[in-house]
Amino acid sequence: MKPTDSTSDADTAQPTIISDGTDTETFSFETSGSTVEVTWRERLRDFYEEFIYKPGLVAWDDRRTRIGAAIMSIYVFMGTLGAWLYPAPSTNQVERGLEPFETLSAPLGSTGSGQDVLAMVIHATPEMLIMVTAGGIFATGVAVIIGTVAGYKGGSVDRVLTSFSDVAMSIPGLPLVMVLAVVFRPRDPVLIGILLTINYWAGLGRSIRSQVLTLREESYVEASRTMGVSTPRILFKDIIPNLMPFVLVNFANAARYVVFASVGLYYLGVLPSSVDNWGLQLENAYSQAGALVGGGALYQLIAPMIAIMGIALGLILLAQGLDRVFNPRVRTRLAGETESTADEEDRETNTEVNM
């Protein structure tokens, strides 16, 4: 399980050589700030090439990534421009109990208290996006820190961190979050995002740790180590970049978990109802007998449902598409179409030609 293809090994070693070579003019100025700057810029560019642009191309080649990205940009649009331009929901802003597609002032109809359903859907988006981002960053960030340090340091540090993750992982997420929600009554979406992923990172941290364990045995990491490069530098330069695709996949997964959990908790009414949320909308519609029996108010349920499933679908598609970058099994077959097969083993040549 190596998160990058074989070329990156060579290329991560290269930047230093290349920059040393092209820096000869700056080099004559003696080692001053400028040398460092150029090297840094080049390093950044190489980093971009190697870890963002190339994997991005591979991911983009997958239809799922493109659809997922398109869906997510709709939500971002809805959460920024949409929420800014479209009037916020309020009681009696339109006629009560409007059916969908009746008037332009409430295209998706209105609730029993005269709120515009579409406005409710749109204005729940910004909070949701903040929550999802906060949760995703918190979960993957903590997982990366704990996983890499535990995996790279080893010894007693590893033991302590691993046991810590084990315990955190054994506590059931949803019930814990509910209890904490009752204790802290969080209102800030960032806080809610973090709270929801309070122990989500644990399992992820474990997988990152085991990947770091394999990565640290790679020759280029070992080379850095023998050259006396400091641990944080190795972690940031050699290890974490190689984990990026995996981390991104799990960012999308964590984000989806935040969507499901937050909507669920808002639906239950466990989280304070200060914020517009699709879960609240669901709850309102569901608790109104009309939505259930007559089917007349069904549209009130369907709008938030579609909003929830849409964002979840976008995130799943993104995760699946990104997985292609991370997962070497899927990736070699793809790479075979463009790369020369000459230096590969016979066996691999065969599978590549297969495509």
Partner 1 sequence: MSLRTEEMDGNSVRDPVIRMSDVSVTYDDGESYVLDGVTVPIERNEILGIVGESGSGKSMLASSLLDAVPDPGQLSGSVEYRPEENESTEVLALEESELRRLRWEEISMVFQGAMSSFNPTMKIKEHFIETLEAHDAIVGVGMDRARELLEDLYLEPDRVLQSYPHELSGGMQQRALIALSLVLEPNVLVMDEPTAALDLLMQQSILLLLQELRAKYDLTMVFITHDLPLVASLSDRLAVMYAFELVEIGPASEVIGSPTHPYTRALLNATPNLNAPLSEMRPVEGKSPAPINVPSGCSYHPRCPLATEECRANHPPDEPVSPGHTAACFHWEEARTEIELNYDGAETGGDQR
Partner 2 sequence: MNNYYLKRTIRAVLTVWIVITLTFGMIRLLPGGPLEQLRGKLLRQGVSPSRVNAMIESYQNVRPNQSLPEQYYEYMTALLTGDLGQSFLQKEPVTAIIGDALPWTVFVMITSTLFIFLIAIVWGALMAYKEGTTFDLLSSSASILFAAVPFYVLGIGLVIVFGYQLELLPTGHRLSPEVEPGLSLLFVLDAVDHAILPIASMVITGAGLQVLAMRGNAIQVLGSDFVRVARLRGLSDQRISVRYVARNAILPMYTGFLTLIGFNLGGSIILEQVFSYPGIGYYMYQALEARDYPLMMGIFLVITVALVLAVYVADLTYGLIDPRVKSGDSREAY
Residues that bind partner 1 (CB under 8 A): 340-347, 349-351, 353-354
With contact defined as beta carbons under 8 Å apart, do 327 and 282 qualify?
no
Residue entry with tokens 């790479």: 335
Q: Which tokens sit at 10? A: 């060579």
Nearer to partner 1, 85 or 342 (CB): 342
Nearer to partner 2, 94 or 282 (CB): 282
- Give me the least distance between CB of 5 and partner 1, in Å please: 17
Nearer to partner 2, 231 or 341 (CB): 341
334 binds, among partner 2, partner 1, none (CB under 5 to 8 A by kind): none
- What backbone phi and psi angles, to 5 degrees, belong to 90? -150, 160
- Give me the least distance between CB of 173 and partner 2, in Å please: 6
Residue entry with tokens 């799922």: 64
With contact defined as beta carbons under 8 Å apart, do 253 and 320 qualify?
no
Of the candidates 342, 178, 347, the one whose C-alpha atom is nearest the C-alpha of residue 271 is 178
Length reported for the chain: 355
344 binds, among partner 2, partner 1, none (CB under 5 to 8 A by kind): partner 1
Nearer to partner 2, 219 or 347 (CB): 347
- Give me the least distance between CB of 11 and partner 1, in Å please: 18
- What backbone phi and psi angles, to 5 degrees, belong to 280? -60, -40
Q: Which tokens sit at 117? A: 């359903």
- Give me the least distance between CB of 336 and partner 1, in Å please: 10
Of the candidates 136, 103, 122, the one whose C-alpha atom is nearest the C-alpha of residue 307 is 122
291 binds, among partner 2, partner 1, none (CB under 5 to 8 A by kind): partner 2
- Give me the least distance between CB of 9 and partner 1, in Å please: 17
Give the interface with partner 2 as residue ranges (CB under 8 A).
Answer: 64, 163, 166-167, 169-176, 178-179, 182-183, 203, 206-207, 210, 259-260, 263-264, 267-270, 282, 286, 291-293, 295, 298, 301, 305, 308-310, 312-313, 316-317, 320, 327, 329, 351
Which residues have C-beta within 8 Å of that of residue 196, sequence separation ≥ 6? Answer: 131, 135, 177, 257, 258, 261, 262, 265
Nearer to partner 1, 102 or 348 (CB): 348
CA–CA gap between residue 33 and residue 47 (Å, rounded): 21
Nearer to partner 1, 113 or 349 (CB): 349
